A and B are shown apart, each in its own frame.
Chain A
Amino acid sequence: MILELVAVGLVVSAFLAVYLDGAVYSVASLASTVILVAILYSLNNATLVAVFQLAIGVGTLAVLFLSSEMLSEKPSEKKPLKNTFLAVAVALLLSIPSIFLSVGTNPTHVSSSVSFPEALWNLRAIDVVLQGLVIMTVALGIAIVLYDKEEEKD
């Protein structure tokens, strides 16, 4: 029952994150999506992934919240409250198939002896490559900002 409630909340908050006009409201809905995804992970015995999801989600949401507050314009006309309720109803309808339908992907016989830290250790080569990617992205971001400032000076 808890899983179903979390799934419904997840679909509703994801739909509102896309539907709502105000950027701040969208980011707030995305925050609830991230929290519900983390709860879903922890209910499925993936506690470490849930912790990582929360940690990364909080960082992303903080940056998104700040940028939405600074950069977005206020919507010229507000959507009536009726439309928002209609959107919630549509999202509730969208969440029904995930509760009642099944595509038969629940395997019961497969198991593995590899533990989570062991698997993470086995993937350390990919980890190093991805860390390089993150550092390159940071360097690219700094280069873009510096280039922009140089252009402003000229």
Chain B
Amino acid sequence: MDYVILSMTLLAIGIYGLLTKRHLLKVLISVELIATAASMNFVLLASSLNKALGEAFLILAFSTDTCVTGIVLALLVIASKKYGTCDIRKLAKLAQYGTIEGNEKSNSKIEEDVA
């Protein structure tokens, strides 16, 4: 069995999720899968080389993973509370046309545009 191909498969699944899913939580899950693919490559190659350095480095890499998760979850909570949606296309439209309070475009119009 080849771990490089296994981690490439996981990476491909993560990229598929990033490109096709619109919900911010799904995007976060895809990012988690990509991070898992990268770390798996690291630790399994390090194990086959008998090098503990790779495994030690991976444990440090977990902290950056946690930071990314924390930031995306904070964005998720804020977007959901403030705009009532976690759809990244709707949020992109909001960024394009201004906020809901800005009266530049109504919420329903934005939803029509997205549809």
| Bind each other | yes
Tell me, yes or no, whether A39 is within 8 Å of chain B by CB. no
CB-CB nearest in chain A for B54: A119
**What residues of A have a CB within 8 angstroms of the CB of B33 in the complex?**
14, 17-18, 30, 33
Q: B54-85: which have CB < 8 Å to A?
A: 55-60, 62-67, 69-71, 73-74, 76-78, 80-82
**Stretch from B2-10, B88-96, B107-115 that touches the partner:** B2-10
Q: A106-124: which have CB < 8 Å to B?
A: 106-107, 110-112, 114-116, 118-120, 122-123
| Total B residues in contact with A, Cβ cutoff 8 Å | 60
**What residues of B have a CB within 8 angstroms of the CB of A17 in the complex?**
17, 29, 33
| Total A residues in contact with B, Cβ cutoff 8 Å | 69
Q: How far is the CA of A128 from the CA of B10 in the complex (A)?
A: 30
Least CB distance from A60 to B in Å reads: 5
**What residues of A have a CB within 8 angstroms of the CB of B57 in the complex?**
119, 123, 126
Per-position contact with A for B1-23: 1 when CB-CB < 8 Å, else 0? 11111101110111011000101
Would A98 and B55 be within 8 Å (CB), given that A15-B13, A130-B64, A144-B74 are in contact?
Answer: no
Q: How far is the CA of A11 from the CA of B25 in the complex (A)?
A: 20
Q: How far is the CA of A115 from the CA of B56 in the complex (A)?
A: 10
Least CB distance from B108 to A in Å reads: 17
Residue numbers of A with Cβ under 8 A of B are 3-4, 7, 10-11, 14-15, 17-18, 23, 26-27, 30, 33-34, 37, 40-41, 44-46, 48-49, 52-53, 56, 59-60, 63-64, 67-68, 71-72, 94-95, 97-99, 101-103, 105-107, 110-112, 114-116, 118-120, 122-123, 126-127, 130-131, 133-134, 137-138, 140-141, 144-145, 148
A-B interface, 3 closest residue pairs, ranked by CB to CB distance from nearest: A18-B17, A98-B6, A119-B56
25 example contacts (A-B, Cβ-Cβ < 8 A) are as follows A3-B1, A10-B10, A11-B9, A26-B29, A30-B32, A44-B43, A44-B47, A46-B55, A48-B55, A49-B43, A60-B32, A67-B76, A67-B77, A72-B23, A72-B86, A94-B9, A106-B2, A110-B49, A111-B50, A112-B49, A112-B52, A114-B51, A116-B52, A130-B63, A134-B67
